[in-house]
Amino acid sequence: MRALLFVVGFLLLLALAPMPYGYYEFLRVVVTVVAGIVILRELGENSVLWLITFALIAALFNPLFIVHFDRKVWAVIDMLAAGIFLFKAFKWPRSIRREN
C-alpha cells in the first residue's frame, strides 16, 4: 500500500508539467480509486480526519462528476494532494514479514 501511495504522489507531481489531456483523465481515475482504498482501510481505524481528507480528494478528482478549475488552481490542488499522499505513505504502517 505504501508503494501505491508513493506512486500516486509522484503522478500528482508529474501533473504539474504540461501533459496531454488523457494523462489528467488517467490521473483522475487513479487518484479516486486509491483514495477510495485508503478510505476503506481507514474505516476500521476510526480516523475521521483521514476519512474526510481522502473523501475530499476523491470528490475533487472523481472522473464521473468532473470539477472544473483553472490550471493554476489545479496545480495547487495537485501539490496539496501529492503532499497528502506522500505524507500518508510515510506514516502508513509497514507490513511485518515473518520468516518461516
**For the chain, where are the alpha helices, taking DSSP H only?**
2-14, 21-43, 48-61, 71-91
Residue closest to 31 by CA, chosen among 72, 69, 48, 53: 53
Q: What is the pLDDT of residue 96?
A: 47
Residue 98 or 28, more confident:
28
> Which pLDDT tens digit goes with each residue over 4-24?
999 999 999 999 999 999 999
Query: Cα(79)–Cα(64) distance, rounded to whole angstroms?
Result: 22
Q: What is the pLDDT of residue 1?
A: 83
Judging by beta carbons within 10 Å of its beta carbon (0-12, 13-18, 19+), is residue 46 exposed, middle or buried?
A: exposed
Q: What's the whole-model pTM score?
A: 0.85
> Which pLDDT tens digit goes with each residue over 23-64?
999 999 999 999 999 999 888 877 888 899 999 999 999 999
**Hunting for cell 475521521 — which residue is that?**
48
